[in-house]
Amino acid sequence: MLNLGYCKGSMSTASSGGVSDQFPVGLRVLVVDDDPTCLVILEKMLRICLYEVTKCNRAEIALSLLRENRNGYDIVISDVHMPDMDGFKLLELIGLEMDLPVIMMSADDGKNVVMKGVTHGACDYLIKPIRIEALKNIWQHVVRKKKNERKDMEQSGSVEEGGDRQQKQSEDADYSSSANEGSWKNSKRRKDEEEEVDERDDTSTLKKPRVVWSVELHQQFVAAVNQLGIDKAVPKKILELMNVPGLTRENVASHLQKYRLYLRRLSGVSQHQSGMGNSFISTQEATYGSLSSLNGLDLQTLAAASQIPAQSLATLQAAGLGRSTAKPRMPMPIVDQRNLFSFENPKLRFGEGQQQHLNNGKQINLLHGIPTTMEPKQLANMHHSAQSLGSMNMQLNAHGDQSGSLLMQMSQQQSRGQILNEATSSQVPRLPSSIGQPIVNNALASGVLARNGLAESGRGTGFNPVSQSSSTMNFPLNTTAELTATSFALGSAPGVPSLTSKGMFPEEISSEIKGPGGFIMPSYDIFSDLQHHRSHDWELQNAGMTFNGSQQSNSLQSNVDVASSVLAHQGFSSSQSNGQGRNISAVGKPMFSAGDATDHVNAQSLGQPLNNFFAENLVRVKTERVPDASLQTTLFNEQFGQEDLMSALLKQQQQQQQAGIGPAENEFDFDGYSLDNIPV
Amino acid sequence: MDRKQLQYQVACMRKSLFDQGYLDEQFNQLEDLQDEANPNFVEEVVTLFYSDSARFIHNIEQAMINKPNIDYGKLDDYMHQFKGSSSSFGAKKVKKECSQFRECCSAGNIEGCIKTFRQLKLEHATLKRKLETYFQLVKQAGIAERR
């Protein structure tokens, strides 16, 4: 008995014809395994189960397939041990980017490995050799996931089922945070349209918000606010104007608060206000290791504005400074709003935040002439990290089908960050390249800005080939199973060559893909790098945290300085297409999800220690489950669900994208976005 | 040989392969997958395996021979893959040798590794021969059927 709800606006299967009626017949399965024998057998088994099968022998190819056609698959089955990418990484990425159910399989049946599958979010784990009976019921995972998402949507008050992507994302977020919705809402109501930061004490335990402020959503929001007039914009009216199903007044209210903060910061109305707006960023900067004094100031303002949990702020500071200079008392109230905001777009935030944070930190230091305790190198590192993170974010955003604007934003940020880095530290030599190449940011693959430029072009080209390759790859892959054993010659030449050649084909393709720009590779590399950096010290982590929290930093940047806006604009103008961004996203994602290879990411994006730093933090954030309320604290201190982080980051990116929608306002938007995070 | 005799031979050989432990239940699974669209599916899979496994064996040998510092981790990885591959079509003895090899690997027992690997190659080649014969017989029986 199949739940026909499955076909009702189901996210991924709606597009496939015939699925709804005969489910699970026609279930679209993507199988990833580097072992050709297993791949062929699985494909055959799945076909017998009447599923629609796509074979893939490389994780990267699988990812590109999934990215190209987000709604083209219902479920993914992947091997654990693969040469080009760890199966668990792929699992995380898929969970973050496409949110598809993923089944892991391996000849390894050790408890640890199975546990790893569980913790990484696999919906099932199959031991090889796989029997067809095990595959017959995999459709249950698809149904279950949809059911859970629908439930979340309903819980969030949305009437729509299987709505748009945003809804889905919201649901995903909601899924984990639905329990907290009530308390969060209450606290939000109190703060609604209030511009006081001090009240942000609650919801420190809030989980990820359910609403994901994607670029489009934010654009709608901004449009509505502008239409009403910023002074007259009240959540209720904004909600009506936006007319987004599933969005609640509370969502809008909190977002509005952040937005107001951002605007205030931009206008530089008052130091305090801007401080508040930037507080988050400042704080992050502080954590960076900017100045202890600055830290204190930043932290306070940041805390106030962003409601950063004292704990997290302290952590950030300590992290940033690489020392435990955490202020004993964090006056700032818990920034649940900010956290929420972050969570809403955690993805965006992380990337952005990091970048911004870094950038901001730098900028602030530079601009205000505040003595920075942080060594330039450290700052540079941070920036780099931020940048890489930013690029990651951008990628994430891009990945999330965000417009290129986000990318641009990211680029901008990165550019800014980069510029700042350069300014602040002699390390960053790439200022010009960064400016001219927003993509660079996005291109994590390119450690050096110059490289970025290269990556840009490479990406552009790389991307296309990839897609092409993937499509072509599919073909051979799919047809491989058809190989007719013309001549049975187990070891004989005639039969074998044909097989091998076929088998080779996909590999070649992947190399092709990599060739042009290593498009896919970069992401993968970053991913692995992240992992490497995982073991970085706490400092980095903290720094990362600040980054995360540093959506504000973006805003801070804008406040800080014109140069950054210039950079931002430059970045903006030179921002790359979404395609690129997409790549980045992919890359960023891995970074995020991997939460490990920070190094790699850093190295790739900027090749700067800062990036590493940033990436590491970013990674950490990702790996840890960050409760909404204390994004920062939890990020580093606790184990965050990678999925949460990833989604947070992605959301952040989305937000950023949204913010960056307006060209002229690139900086503004971008920054503003981060500001939004800071509850006023 | 008439069809019935051929079929009988095929059945006998198949049974002995199982009885002697060369093949396990997974082979049955594959045979069940065969249908009109893919009448030679199992044969195709086995062919694919043997073309791929040559690469494995080569890699493992390279990693083991004339190497002062053996990278056991890498060896283990290779062997893990090889094990997964061979178990996917029911190569029981080969799979067993793989497990054995991995044990030696984790113990850092290079002598054991070399010895086991030799045994593994032997089993690998033996199975190949036997399956070649088997599939040829199957084909003959199938052709006989069509007559």
- Give A376-413 pLDDT, tens digit per residue: 444 444 444 444 444 444 443 434 344 434 444 444 44
A400 contacts A354 by C-beta, under 8 angstroms:
no
How large is the average pLDDT for residues B132-144?
Answer: 85
Q: Which of A173-182, A576-585, B115-124 has the lowest mean pLDDT?
A: A576-585
Instruction: Answer whether the bond into residue A129 is a cis peptide, omega within 30°.
Output: yes
Residues paired with A76 in a beta bridge: A30, A102
A391 contacts A642 by C-beta, under 8 angstroms:
no
Closest CA to A473 of A40, A34, A58, A90: A58
**Structural Rg of chain B based on CA atoms:** 17
Q: Is the pLDDT of residue A481 over 90?
A: no
DSSP state letter for A526: H
How many residue pairs from chains A and B have C-beta atoms closer than 8 A?
Answer: 100
Mutate to test the interface with A, among B23, B45, B48, B88 (most CBs of A within 10 A): B48
Q: Is the pLDDT of residue A490 over 80?
A: no
Residue A246: partners with Cβ closer than 8 Å, 6 or more residues away:
A153, A156, A157, A158, A159, A160, A163, A166, A167, A170, A211
Q: Do A488 and B136 touch (CB under 8 A)?
A: yes
Residue type, A347: K
- Please state, in angstroms and as integers, the Cα–Cα distance from residue A604 to each residue in A387, A418, A420, following that order: 10, 14, 18
User: What's residue B130's pLDDT?
Assistant: 93
* Alpha-helical regions (H) of A32-127: 36-48, 59-68, 87-97, 111-119
Highest mean pLDDT among A217-221, A369-373, A513-517: A217-221
User: What's residue A338's pLDDT?
Assistant: 44
As a whole number, the mean pLDDT across chain A is: 54
Mutate to test the interface with A, among B38, B86, B88 (most CBs of A within 10 A): B88
User: What's residue B121's pLDDT?
Assistant: 92
User: What's residue B94's pLDDT?
Assistant: 92
Contacts of the segment A105-112: beta carbons below 8 A, 24+ positions apart: A105/A33, A105/A77, A105/A78, A105/A79, A105/A80, A105/A130, A106/A79, A106/A80, A106/A81, A106/B84, A107/B80, A107/B83, A107/B84, A107/B87, A108/A80, A108/A81, A108/B80
Q: What percent of chain A has pLDDT over 70?
A: 27
A173 contacts A647 by C-beta, under 8 angstroms:
yes
- Give A77-88 pLDDT, tens digit per residue: 999 988 888 889
Instruction: Pick left, alpha or beta for residue A244 (phi over 0 → left; psi -120 to 50 → alpha; otherwise beta).
Output: beta
**Closest CA of chain B from A53, distance in Å:** 15
Q: What is the pTM of this model?
A: 0.42
User: What's residue A649's pLDDT?
Assistant: 52
At A56 the three-state DSSP class reads: strand
Q: How far apart are CA B56 and CA B49, in angstroms?
A: 10
Closest CA to A584 of A341, A338, A411, A355: A411
Q: Which residues of A touch B52 (CB under 8 A)?
A: 35-37, 500, 503
Residue A200: burial class (beta carbons within 10 Å; 0-12, 13-18, 19+): buried
Residues of B engaging A, defined by a Cβ cutoff of 8 Å: 26, 29-30, 32-33, 35, 38, 40-41, 43-52, 54, 77, 80-81, 83-85, 87-90, 128, 131-132, 135-136, 139
A38 contacts A553 by C-beta, under 8 angstroms:
no
**Closest CA of chain A from B26, distance in Å:** 7
- Give B45-66 pLDDT, tens digit per residue: 999 999 988 888 888 888 887 6
* Dihedral sign (CA A68, A73, A76, A81): negative
User: What's residue A212's pLDDT?
Assistant: 66
| Other residues' Cβ atoms within 10 Å of the Cβ of residue B56 | 20
Q: How far apart are CA B114 and CA A31, in angstroms?
A: 34
How large is the average pLDDT for residues A532-560?
Answer: 40
Buried b (16+ CB within 10 A) or exposed e, A95-118: bbbbbbbbbbbbbbeeeebbebbe
At A187 the three-state DSSP class reads: helix
Which residue did the predictor score with more confidence, A250 or A587? A250
**Helix crossing, A404-424 with A642-659: angle to 10°?**
90
Closest CA to A495 of B117, B59, B54, B18: B54
User: What length does chain B have?
Assistant: 147
Residue B51: partners with Cβ closer than 8 Å, 6 or more residues away:
A495, A496, A499, A500, A503
A303 contacts A279 by C-beta, under 8 angstroms:
yes
Q: Do A488 and B47 touch (CB under 8 A)?
A: yes
How large is the average pLDDT for residues A654-680?
Answer: 46
- Out of B44, B45, B80, the one facing A108 most closely (by C-beta) is B80
Closest CA to A358 of A378, A386, A329: A386
Q: How far apart are CA B40 and CA B63, in angstroms?
A: 35
A284 contacts A553 by C-beta, under 8 angstroms:
yes
Q: Do B47 and A107 touch (CB under 8 A)?
A: no
The structure tokens listed for A407 are: 């990318």
Q: How far apart are CA B84 and CA A335, in angstroms?
A: 50
Q: Which of A122-126, A646-650, B79-83, B95-99 has the lowest mean pLDDT?
A: A646-650
- Give A249-264 pLDDT, tens digit per residue: 888 888 888 788 777 7
Q: Is the pLDDT of residue A572 over 70?
A: no
- Out of B49, B83, B135, the one facing A488 most closely (by C-beta) is B135
Q: Is the pLDDT of residue A533 over 80?
A: no
Residue A166, phi then psi, degrees to nearest 5: -60, -45
A597 contacts A453 by C-beta, under 8 angstroms:
no
How large is the average pLDDT for residues A666-670?
Answer: 42
User: What's residue A369's pLDDT?
Assistant: 41
Q: Is the pLDDT of residue A633 over 50?
A: no
Q: Do A40 and B45 touch (CB under 8 A)?
A: yes
Q: Which residues of A touch B50 (CB under 8 A)?
A: 490-491, 496
Confidence at A426, pLDDT banded by 50, 70, 90: very low
Q: Is the pLDDT of residue B80 over 70?
A: yes
Q: What percent of chain A has pLDDT over 90?
A: 10
Closest CA to A619 of A540, A522, A503, A674: A540
Smallest CA–CA distance from A495 into chain B, residue: B47
Q: Which residues of A touch B46 (CB under 8 A)?
A: 490
Q: Is the pLDDT of residue A373 over 70?
A: no
Q: Is the pLDDT of residue A463 over 60?
A: no
Residue position matching structure tokens 């988050």: A280
Highest mean pLDDT among A314-318, A335-339, A414-418, B79-83: B79-83
Q: Is the pLDDT of residue B141 over 80?
A: yes
User: What's residue A233's pLDDT?
Assistant: 82
At A103 the three-state DSSP class reads: strand
Q: Which of A14-23, A185-194, A491-500 has the lowest mean pLDDT?
A: A491-500
As a whole number, the mean pLDDT across chain B is: 87
Q: Is the pLDDT of residue A596 over 70?
A: no
**HSE-up of A364 (CA within 13 Å, CB side)?**
41
Q: How far apart are CA A417 and CA A671, in angstroms?
A: 12
User: What's residue A115's pLDDT?
Assistant: 92
* Alpha-helical regions (H) of A426-577: 431-436, 438-442, 449-480, 495-517, 520-532, 538-549, 551-560, 562-574
* Alpha-helical regions (H) of A575-608: 578-589, 598-605
Confidence at A525, pLDDT banded by 50, 70, 90: very low
**HSE-up of B69 (CA within 13 Å, CB side)?**
1
Q: Do A132 and B139 touch (CB under 8 A)?
A: no
Q: Is the pLDDT of residue A375 over 50?
A: no
Q: Do B33 and A128 touch (CB under 8 A)?
A: no
The structure tokens listed for A346 are: 């955690």
The structure tokens listed for A287 are: 């954590």
- Give B4-43 pLDDT, tens digit per residue: 888 898 999 999 999 999 999 999 989 988 888 888 899 9
Residues paired with A649 in a beta bridge: A348
Q: Which residues of B touch A131 (CB under 8 A)?
A: 26, 29
- Give A223-278 pLDDT, tens digit per residue: 888 888 878 888 888 888 888 888 888 888 888 887 887 777 667 655 444 444 44
User: What length does chain A have?
Assistant: 680
Task: Report the C-alpha dihedral over residues A289, A290, A291, A295, rounded to 10 degrees.
Answer: -80
Q: How far apart are CA A380 and CA A362, in angstroms?
A: 8
The structure tokens listed for A368 are: 């205000």
Task: Give CA angle at A579 (A576, A584), nearest 5°.
Answer: 80
User: What's residue A25's pLDDT?
Assistant: 87
- Give A61-105 pLDDT, tens digit per residue: 999 999 898 788 999 999 998 888 888 988 988 888 888 899 999
